[in-house]
Amino acid sequence: MVTETRRAEIEHGLAAAHARIREAEISAGRQAGSVDLVVVTKTFPAADVAVLAELGVTEVGENRDQEAAPKAAALAGLPLRWHFIGQLQTNKVRSVVQYADVVESVDRPKLVNALRRAAAGVDRRLDVLVQVSLESQPGRGGVDPSAMLEIADAVAESDRLTLTGIMAVAPLGADPVAAFTRLAELAERLRTDHPTARTISAGMSGDLEAAVECGATQVRLGSAVLGYRPPVR
Ligand SMILES: *Cc1c(COP(=O)(O)O)cnc(C)c1O
């Protein structure tokens, strides 16, 4: 399905990403293996994802339902967990709950409700992260931190949803350490009320070291593993 060259590229990218994560863990004084990797496969073909699965990747991330749904269907036999990481419209929820195992981008009560009902409709359970905005002007998704607990409580009360943590994207052009320090504080606040919500999903190809330094338990890497991705939209 992929050329030998592409297979070698992916293998190389994955090894390099694991090495970077390991280095970041060491320099942050954290335990080796304490940071999980989600490989963000958006814009890359299902064949690339199949190679990742062969190489032992189990967690993959997608941000658009139109793209993710057919990809997940094509790879349904593989031991992959699909993380939905993009802004999610309620009219896409019924599709997303059919393949997603984790929804990381939950940022409004209405979405919690829609996910709960749709998951019940297909008799599935979902892990959920509350996405918080670290921008002064929320825009790239994520709830204002002042409303984080309201969303978290709504998730925790939903029988089909398991609250597993918090997710954020660092603001463009700002110091990621400052943003991820703020995120760590919010994560601690979340755990005060929801002790099992331990995942901190932060760090992308450009800022994973800052995220790991600030306590991320999961990074979401696309280009660092799979290579250049043309800008979307
Ligand atoms: C695309 C994307 C990533 C991965 O970005 P890279 O810079 O390619 O590592 C991570 N998180 C989210 C929410 C994304 O949309």
Q: Which residue has the higher pLDDT, 37 or 1?
A: 37
What pLDDT sits at residue 231? Answer: 77
Are 99 and 119 contacting, i.e. CB atoms less than 8 angstroms apart? Answer: no
Tell me the best of 204, 218, 228, 232 to mutate to test the pocket of ligand 1, counting ligand atoms within 8 Å of each CB and taking the most.
204
User: For residue 141, what pLDDT band results from cuts at 50, 70 and 90?
Assistant: confident
What pLDDT sits at residue 47? Answer: 98
> What confidence tens digit (pLDDT) does each residue in 113-128 have?
999 999 999 999 999 9
User: For residue 65, what pLDDT band results from cuts at 50, 70 and 90?
Assistant: very high
Structure tokens that stand for 85 in this block: 């990481």
Give the whole-angstrom CA distance, residue 113 versus residue 119.
10
Q: Which atom of ligand 1 is nearest to the CA of 40?
A: 4
Instruction: Kindly list the distances between the CA atom of residue 114 and the CA atoms of 89, 111, 126, in Å, as whole numbers in the listed order.
Output: 10, 5, 12
Q: Which atom of ligand 1 is nearest to the CA of 63?
A: 15
Tell whether the model's pLDDT for residue 233 goes beyond 80: no
Q: What predicted TM-score, i.e. pTM, was given to this entire model?
A: 0.97
What pLDDT sits at residue 194? Answer: 98
> What confidence tens digit (pLDDT) does each residue in 72-114 have?
999 999 999 999 999 999 999 999 999 999 999 999 999 999 9
Whether ligand 1 lies within 6 angstroms of the CB of 204 is answered as: yes
